[in-house]
Chain A
Amino acid sequence: MTRLQVGSGLVGVLLLLAVLAPVLATHPPHVQLDLDALRNAGPSLTHPLGTDPYSRDLLSRVLHGARVSLGIAVLAVLVAVIVGVTVGVVSGWAGGVLDAVLMRIVDAALAVPRLFTVLVPLALWEHVTVPAIIAILGGTGWFAMSRLVRAEVRAARARPWVAAARAVGVPPIRIVARHLLPNIAGPVIVVATMGIGQVVLLEAGLSYLGLGVPQPLPSWGSIIADGQPVLRAAPWVAGSAGLALVATVLAFTLVGDGLRERLDPRAS
């Protein structure tokens, strides 16, 4: 089986699990079931993945965590794509001072390591909510995409048939929509797919540090943080969420790799 098939299958399964989480979960994810007796219980029939130090059923937490982590990642990447493509098109088409300014901003932003670009707005935000996280992750994730799109737009703009269309008076928006956007769709999709995997990791890291999704909303990262103090005694806490993370990122990476071979012949 090709990478694309394996990856797509896995992504499909994960999305299904995420969507069906409320149905599949046996317990509400934030309910502490029995403060003493059920802490850090190992996997059993009633609790297939065990329980965490707060007596919460892990299977339910991991399933709901899928909703949270995947939901945030997909929406954040959507934001990044919209902003990135828009900025890239505007910058590439308009050229001149606007292009120079925008690209300087992009250069500066790309010089800062990704996690730091997320930490700075996070430090200034008063109450971090899920929409805020999506906004911050998306708002800091469009830079590379805009460069990519800008390069494509500039190359296309120089083509004779585009010059001809402009000379005839075709409004730029139509030129962009009919000629440019279809051409960049391929690379954008590839970058976006890989981006979902990267944002899942990023969001997990933030939640691990306690800076991400607010409690008691479950995120795979925060589940791992919960599991750290009891790593030897109850490895299944961190382990279940850890495996879920690896599987998810692996799935999106495989799909991204597979799509790259099919859609973007220029990439090696």
Chain B
Amino acid sequence: MDTDLIRFVAGRLLQGALVVLGVATLVFVLLHLAPGDPLTVLSDAPQVAPEALRQVRRDFGLDRPIGEQYVRYLARLVQGDLGVSITQHRPVTTALAGAIPHTLLLAAAALLVDFAVGIGIGVAQGRRAGTRTDRLLSVVTITLYATPVFAFGLLLLGVFGETLGWFPLGGSVDPIRHAGLSVIGRAMDRLHHLALPALTLGLVAAAYTARHQRSALLDVIQQDFVRAARGRGLAEHAVLVRHALRNALTPTITLAGLALPALLSGSVLVESVFGWPGMGRLAAEAIGRRDYPIVTAAAIFAAAMVVVGNLLADLAARAADPRLRSVR
């Protein structure tokens, strides 16, 4: 492992930590900007006695000066204490720990669909630029791009779930039969439930990727080294794959880093449509109940995931393009 790489990763991790810190600070500021204090939202609830509320305020240190509150907030955060859910009466960390793996699984599967379909269509379009196939595919991608992810999910659910019955209507596992299945059976059950949500999220993301990949390929194909490769007598196939495509894929890999925030946003809606027990659905439900600790923790965690995702995408880009390796 070369020192350049270590320095790069270390630097980026430090930057990322600062960003997450910044997010946590923004959340803190927002919480305290609201009139009253974070517990004001509860004071309307009739069953909460004013005296009990005052006690809770003292317990949470909400009557302390704001600077001290900030420090205590950060200290708790660093230790992994994200607070207690107001409605679920358990630590937020526990609630999130159960939900995050599901979101990660969904995001990973969606990314797979995104790349497979998006790159496939983008490359197909780039090679046939200007033809009817290209224009037709453009219409498809731009329409998909304009479709709300939850509406698309409902469409898939309606057609493939309810009407055709090919896929289950929600959840991550079959509530009744899952426990009794074999290991393979359980894996298949999970995949079966994963299919529609992953396709929903992945295909909408693929529309964006395809548009990007198409223009990336067109940019590269025009470049001199592609013509030079032909001029040296290389076979057309080698020119396309080894020269054009290799270079056109690098920007798409970087795009993966940019796709992650959109995927996480989309997952809130897709998880709600399909009843997928992930972080997004947790956050959405928490809002309805004004359970802000869960929502803010989810936001902070989402930011952390974006930071890590960007770092991974940059590492992949460095691996693909040697010119990036000498950069700081």
Contacts and interface: CB of A to CB of B under 8 A. Distances in A.
The reply to whether A and B meet directly (CB within 8 Å) is: yes
B151 to A, nearest CB: 4
A245 B154 contact: no
Tell me if A's interface is mostly helix, strand, loop or mixed: helix
A111 interface: yes
A228 B291 CA distance: 25
A216 interface: no
Contacts of A214: none
A116 B239 CA distance: 44
A255 to B, nearest CB: 12
Tell me if B's interface is mostly helix, strand, loop or mixed: helix
B283 interface: yes
B306 A268 contact: no
A245 B148 contact: yes
A204 B306 contact: no
Interface string B221-234: 00000000000000
Interface string A218-232: 000100100110011
A250 B142 contact: yes
A16 interface: no
A119 to B, nearest CB: 5
Interface in A11-44: none
A111 B307 contact: yes
B26 A108 contact: yes
Interface in A207-244: 208-211, 221, 224, 227-228, 231-232, 235, 238, 242
Contacts of B162: 231-232
Interface in B278-301: 283-284, 286-288, 290-292, 295-296, 298-300
Contacts of A126: 41
Interface stretch (B65-73, B123-131, B191-199, B260-268): B260-268
A114 B163 contact: no
Most chain A CB atoms below 10 A, which of B147, B215, B286, B307: B147
A45 to B, nearest CB: 26
Contact of B151 (A117, A119, A122, A245): A245
A17 to B, nearest CB: 17
A224 B154 contact: yes
Given A246-B143, A250-B142, A115 B268 contact: yes
A170 interface: no
Contacts of A253: 142, 145-146
B158 interface: yes
A247 B269 CA distance: 20
A231 B158 contact: yes
A204 B26 contact: no
Contacts of A268: 215, 219
A177 B269 CA distance: 42
Contacts of A221: 148, 150
Contacts of B85: none
Nearest to B150: A208
Nearest to A104: B22
A248 B296 CA distance: 32
Contacts of B151: 204, 224, 238, 242, 245-246
B318 to A, nearest CB: 21
Most chain B CB atoms below 10 A, which of A115, A122, A235: A115
A232 B163 contact: yes
Given A108-B303, A245-B148, A246-B143, A123 B287 contact: yes
A91 B260 CA distance: 28
Interface string B203-237: 00000000000010001000000000000000000
A247 B25 CA distance: 39
B299 A205 contact: no
A197 B295 contact: no
Contacts of B266: 115
A105 interface: yes
Contacts of B288: 210-211
A116 B283 contact: yes
B296 A123 contact: yes
A238 B152 CA distance: 11
A109 B20 CA distance: 10
Contacts of B290: 123
Interface in B235-291: 260-262, 264-266, 268-269, 272-273, 283-284, 286-288, 290-291
A167 interface: no
Most chain B CB atoms below 10 A, which of A123, A125, A228, A253: A123
A119 B299 contact: yes
Q: Which 4 A-B pairs have the closest CB atoms?
A: A108-B22, A115-B265, A249-B146, A250-B146
Given A221-B150, A242-B154, 12 more contacts: A107-B22, A112-B302, A116-B264, A120-B295, A204-B150, A208-B150, A209-B272, A224-B150, A232-B162, A246-B151, A250-B142, A254-B142
Interface of B: 18-20, 22-23, 25-27, 30-31, 34, 38, 41, 142-143, 145-151, 154-155, 157-158, 162-163, 215, 219, 260-262, 264-266, 268-269, 272-273, 283-284, 286-288, 290-292, 295-296, 298-300, 302-303, 306-307
